[in-house]
Structure 1
Amino acid sequence: MKLYYIPTTRAVRPRWLLEEMGIAYDLVRVNMSITKQPEYKELHPHRKVPVLVDGSVTIFESAAICAYLADKYISLGFAPLPDSPERAYYHQWLFYAAVTLEPPVEHYMFNVLPNLPEKLLPGFVRLETSKQESQQWFDRVAEPLREVLVGRNYLVANRLTAADIITGGVLLWAKKLGMLLDDDPLSKYINGLMQRPAFIRADEDFYAKIATM
């Protein structure tokens, strides 16, 4: 099993899950020159990370990779069983993080780092929402997470799942960007996740300068 990886990117998320699982994998550190090579496009059509190669399976998108791994090794408990009622809430928060929570963080990041490389979005789209508007957008969509985490450390059945990995990955960016106040309940949540040994092993570059994101 190989994970193609660049520090401080979405590739941290599947690496974190693999570390939590204790599954053997090869970490392939990627740089921009590697992504420009013709053969890399066979791994990812947009020449990005992460990419997971597992035998005959080659899959990209961090949330998809984490969901795949959680189901493949479901006995490890990082996804509820398919016939469990908790499975619905697991899917809900997994998709919420990727589809609803991440966009305002990404727009905020483009405002803070306007020269950040982005292969897919033209400049006028990247900066169509101001920094302040992006913060307000984030605060609004983060509210359901604040509510569900009252009295909990994790999103589903109060145990760590791949939904926390993806949500935590988004909130990690928000924390780096200064979007979370210290008294925000989500700060307590992400700080707890960051204390996990598997996270520390996966994101050894957390304290790198934000310009390297």
Structure 2
Amino acid sequence: MKLYYIPTTRAVRPRWLLEEMAIPYEMVRVTMAMTKEPEYKQLHPHGKVPVLVDGEATIFESAAICAYLADKYLDKGFAPAPDSPHRAYYYQWLFYATATLEAPVEHFMFNILPNLPEKLLPGFIRSETSKQESYQWFQRVSEPVKEALHGKHFLVGNSLTAADVVVGGILLWAKKLGMMQPDDSLTEYIDNLMQRPAFNRADENYYAQVPVHSE
């Protein structure tokens, strides 16, 4: 099993899950130059990370990789059983994370890091939402997550699942970018995730400074 990886990207999420599950894997560190090569485009059509190669399966999209791993190793407990009532909420948060929660964080990121080598998003779309608008957007879409976590440590059931890895990975980006207030009720959730040894093994560059772009 190979994971194609660049630090501080979405590739941290499946690496984090692999570390939590204690599954042997080979990490292939990718450079931006590698992503432009035709051979790499055979793995990911847009030359991005992560990519997981597991036997005959070659998968991209971080949430899809996490869902695949959690189901393949269901006995590890990172996904509810298919017949569990928790399964519906697990799906809900996996999809909410990438379809709704991540968008304002990405827009905010492009405002303070405008030179990111994003391959798909046109420049005019990057800048059409201001930093303040992105922040307000994030505050709105993070409210359901806060409500779901009220009095709980994890989103689904009483244990960490792949949904926490994906949602948590997005919130960790938000925290690093300065979108989280110290009194935000999500801070405890994020801090608990950051204390996990598997997270620290997976995201060794989390504490690297974010260069702030002055407008």
TM-score, normalised relative to structure 2: 0.97
Does residue 19 of structure 2 align to residue 19 of structure 1? yes
| Equivalence map 1:22-61=2 (5 Å) | 22-61=22-61
1:114 paired residue number: 114
Q: Residue 17 of structure 1: CA displacement?
A: 0.1
Question: How far does the alpha carbon of each residue in 1:28-52 deviate from its partner, in whole angstroms, 9 at most, with x for none?
Answer: 0000111111100000000000000
Question: How far does the alpha carbon of each residue in 1:174-208 deviate from its partner, in whole angstroms, 9 at most, with x for none?
Answer: 01100001111111111100000100110111112
2:89 paired residue number: 89
SS at match of 1:59: strand
Question: How far does the alpha carbon of each residue in 1:127-171 deviate from its partner, in whole angstroms, 9 at most, with x for none?
Answer: 111100000000000001111111100000121000000001101
Q: 1-side partners of 2:170 and 2:207: how far apart?
A: 16
Q: 2-side partners of 1:208 and 1:127: how far apart?
A: 25
2:208 paired residue number: 208
Moved more, 162-171 or 114-123: 114-123
Count of equivalent residues: 211
1:68 paired residue number: 68
Q: Residue 116 of structure 1: CA displacement?
A: 1.3
Q: 1-side partners of 2:209 and 2:11: how far apart?
A: 17
1:136 paired residue number: 136
SS at match of 1:185: coil
Q: 2-side partners of 1:115 and 1:204: how far apart?
A: 23
Does residue 163 of structure 2 align to residue 163 of structure 1? yes
* Deviant stretches of 4+, over 3 Å: none
Supply the AA of the counterpart residue of 1:89. Y
1:186 paired residue number: 186
Supply the AA of the counterpart residue of 2:127. L
Q: 2-side partners of 1:64 and 1:71: how far apart?
A: 11
The gaps in structure 1 that reach 5 residues or longer are none
Q: Residue 209 of structure 1: CA displacement?
A: 2.9
SS at match of 2:186: helix
SS at match of 1:52: strand
Supply the AA of the counterpart residue of 1:196. R
Identity percentage of aligned residues: 74
Q: 1-side partners of 2:53 and 2:209: how far apart?
A: 29
The gaps in structure 2 that reach 5 residues or longer are none
Moved more, 40-49 or 111-120: 111-120
Q: Residue 210 of structure 1: CA displacement?
A: 2.4
Q: 2-side partners of 1:191 and 1:39: how far apart?
A: 39
